[in-house]
Structure formats: C-alpha cells, structure tokens
Amino acid sequence: MCRQSATVSLLKSPALEGVVGLSLVERLRLLPDPRRRRGVRHPFVAVLLVAASAVIAGARSYAAISQWATNAPQLALARLGARVVGSLSVRVVPSAATIRRVVALVCPGGLADLTSADPAGSDSVAIDGKAARGSRQGEMPAIHLLAAMTGDGRTVTQLRVPDKTNEISCFAVLLDPYDLTRVTVTADALHTRRDHARFLVEEKKAHHLPVVKANQPELRRTLRSLPWKQVTARRYDREIGHGRRETRVTRALTVTDLALDLPHIAQAVRLLRHRTNLKAGKCTRQTVYAITDLTSHQASPQRLGQLARSQWTIENRLHFVRDTTLGEDTSKIRTSHGPENMATLRNLAINTLRRHGHRSRPPSRLLRPLQPAAGPIEHPLTRPST
C-alpha cells in the first residue's frame, strides 16, 4: 500500500482512487499489518481503532491508550472489533506493548492519507509545517510535519519532513495523491517558487496564492513599487474580537509586463492590517504581499482577502489545537514512526469531533466510555454511514 518518496525514505500512499465513500474501517483494512504473522492475536484494524478512540477521549501516550482500553465497556470494544476470547465471547484489549508496536510501525503516509478528508471540491487548502518539540532525543532534532487543511477546518494529510532538509522537498509529494482541480492552495513565503506554481497550475489544475516576503527580495521590491495608492479595486473588513479591533484593507492589481521570474501570475495582492489592542491601546500595522494566478474575473479583492486569511486556519484550528488541547509538544513519544502516527491520530480526532458538531470543548470531556451504557453505543469512528 505504501510507496517510497523520491527524496528520502518517507512513506506515502499511492493515488487514493477508489477509497472515496469507504468507511474508516474499510480504509484501514487497506493498510499492511507491520507485525510478523507468528504470534499475532489482536486484529490490526481493531488496535488502530482502539488507539484512535483513546486519543479522541484525551489519551496522550501509549500507557494512556492502554488504560482507556482496559476500562472501556464490552459494547464499545465490540464496536471496535476487539479480540473475542472464551465461550462467553469476552472482548480482550491489546496490551500497551502491542499498541506501541502497531502505532510505531504502521505506514505513516498511508495512515495519514486514509484517515483524513478529501479536499476535492473545497474552496481552499492551506499548507503549513509544525515541529513536534517533544519528539527531540539527544542530538536528533524534533520531527517536522508538513500538513494540509481545507478552509473549513478538515485535515487533508500530513508528511514528515526528512532531517537535513525543509518543507520544499515535500510540497509536491504531500499533495500529489489528491484531486485539487479549481482548489486554491495557500502557503507561506517558503513555497513561493517556480516549481510549486507549475506543479499546482499545470499538473494539478489548481490555483495558488503564496505570500511574498524577504526570501524573494527582488519580487518583493517589484510588488512594493506598484502604484497601490491608485488602485480602486479594494476591500475593507473590520472586526472586533480576542481583545483587539482589526481593520484589513485588501487591494488587488492585475499584473502585466513586469518581467517577474515566476510563472502563472495574474494578480498581485496587498493586504494592510491595522490592529488596536483594546486594553493597552497599542496600535500595530502590517503589510503583506501575495501573488496569484486567479484573474480579476475569478477573484475579487474580497475573495482574495478571504483566501489569504484562510491560511491562518491551519495554525488556529490544527496546530494550536494539537498543542494546547491534545498536548502534542509535551508528548514523549519519540521512536520509529510513533510521533507522526500519533499526530495523525490527533488529526483524526479533530476531524471526527468537528464532524459530530463539537467545536471548542476539550476532547477528554466528549467521549469517555468508562461506564457501561444503557443501550447500543454509537461510536463516532465506527458508526455506519447513512
């Protein structure tokens, strides 16, 4: 099921054709069991479902996953497909060692792709990376994960960035299995590159909206020199929240004959942000430039401002949640593929909770089946599709 990345020994699944519409259980069955055949007692998919359910309930370590499984009622274990023992059909949970072995060895690319959302038809997809600081050991740096998330807060996939390199080498590998037709991909200044623009527009038939910063000095100087004060295509957005008042001004300008060393540029965008701290009264001003292949007929200044703002979705609704609510940076899981697979289980937990209407409550209060239920358990991971 897994394939080798062209750059390093990273694992990603092949094209995901044929898995759309399958349940989570059916998708997990496509993954190869990394264990040896001899001595296998617990079903592979059941171990993954137990681990995923425990993470939804707030588990942050292998020991916590095992503790959750030990205290789970028989009805919950039956829905998860746990091993049956004896004439009384008692459900037996896997040990902490079995959970550790399966989570640490399962294909990280396949697990990330098969448990995440399909971006086809989305308005935008944001790309950003994050380091799992708790995974550092000795002289080895913390692992760095490059993730993709739709504008409405659904995690698409993630990929571990190899050591001694950066996110640039993983950009195309991350997005290659997915249908991105007419989807606008937003990214930070690191991905403002010719090869990325050609990959998105020519190969994936998508649109792009990367930010331009100091790492592209010539391009940034060119954009700053444009006649922005004369631009009439502009949009003002004002809002109050989080203890501040913010005003955003978005200007868009059709770009022609600028001899820019980047392909597929139809418009240049300038975003001016004024922020006032309502408590301290301090005012700050920030100017951000971006480029896009979207023409003025395809994207007005209002839509361009919304697309640029959607890049913050992955920071606020994925990385921040994994750090604060799910305790990713304090996790001491370091060996093998454990760090990236646990991050994938956290992504699955976030997607599952949001799909069932939970927005901001801590997961540890949402699903904790420690006491026997009065009726059949409708578990969000194994609920039949309607």
| Enclosing H/E stretch for 301 | helix 301-310
Place of tokens 């390093």: 8
Residue 15 predicted with pLDDT over 80: no
User: In angstroms, what is the C-alpha Rg of the chain?
Assistant: 23
Residue 9 has pLDDT above 70, yes or no: no
The tally of CA atoms less than 13 A away on the side-chain side of residue 216 is 23
With beta carbons less than 8 A apart as the criterion, state whether 213 and 203 touch: no
Task: Looking at the structure, tell me whether residues 285 and 200 fall in a common domain.
Answer: yes
Task: Quick: pLDDT tens for 221-237.
Answer: 999 999 998 998 899 99
- Of residues 65, 109, 73, 110, the one with CA closest to residue 91: 73
- DSSP calls for 255-275: --S---SSSS--EEEEEEEEE
User: What proportion of the chain, given as a percentage, has pLDDT over 90?
Assistant: 58
At 106 the pLDDT is: 93
Neighbours of 296 (CB within 10 A): 14
Q: Does 349 lie in the same domain as 304?
A: no
Q: DSSP state, 170?
A: G
| Nearest Cα to Cα of residue 258 among 206, 212, 311, 196 | 212
13 and 107 belong to one structural domain: yes
CA torsion, ordered 311, 315, 317, 323, to nearest 10 deg: 170
Confidence tier at 362 by pLDDT (50, 70, 90):
low
**Residue 172 maps to a domain:** no
Tell me, what's the pLDDT at 127? 95
Whether residue 369 is predicted with pLDDT greater than 70 in this model: the reply is no
pLDDT at 375 over 80: no
Same domain, 27 and 110: yes
Element (H, E) at 207: strand 207-212
Instruction: Determine the average pLDDT of the residues in 59-65.
Output: 91
Residue with tokens 């009726």: 375
Q: Domain range holding 237?
A: 189-310
**DSSP structure string for 113-131:** HHTS---TT-SEEEEEEEE
pLDDT at 2: 53
The 10s digit of each residue's pLDDT in 235-283 is 999 999 888 999 999 999 998 777 777 889 999 999 999 999 988 889 9
Of residues 108 and 368, the one with the higher pLDDT is 108
In a domain, 217, yes or no: yes
Q: What is the pLDDT of residue 332?
A: 84
Q: What is the pLDDT of residues 130-178, one digit of tens each?
A: 988 878 877 788 889 999 999 999 999 999 998 878 899 999 999 998 9
Whether residue 256 sits in one domain with residue 225:
yes
- Displacement of CA 99 from its chain's centroid (Å): 23
Q: What is residue 370's predicted lDDT score, i.e. its pLDDT?
A: 39
* Residue 87: predicted pLDDT: 83
Distances (CA, A) of 140 to 87, 134, 135, 335: 50, 11, 9, 11
Q: Considering the domain boundaries, does residue 316 fall inside one?
A: no
Q: Do residues 7 and 108 both lie within one domain?
A: yes
Identify the domain boundary among 310, 335, 355: 310
What integer pLDDT is reported at residue 324 of this predicted model? 86
Domain boundary residue, one of 279, 310, 341:
310
Percent of the chain with pLDDT over 70: 88
**180 located within any domain:** no
Number of structural domains the chain divides into:
2
Q: What is the pLDDT of residue 382?
A: 57
- Position with higher pLDDT, 378 vs 41: 41
Structure tokens at 352: 């599952």
Q: Which of 5-14, 122-131, 375-384 bottoms out in mean pLDDT, i.e. has the lowest?
A: 5-14
Most confidently modeled range among 14-28, 288-302, 325-339:
288-302
Residue 354 to residues 82, 345, 347: CA-CA distances in angstroms? 26, 14, 11
Domain presence at residue 372: no
Asked if the structure places residue 151 within a domain, the reply is no
Across the chain, what does the average pLDDT equal?
Answer: 85
- Sheet of 234-241: strand order equals 155-161, 144-150, 124-131, 184-187, 207-212, 283-292, 267-277, 244-254, 234-241
Q: What is the pLDDT of residue 198?
A: 95
Whether 147 maps to a domain, the answer reads no
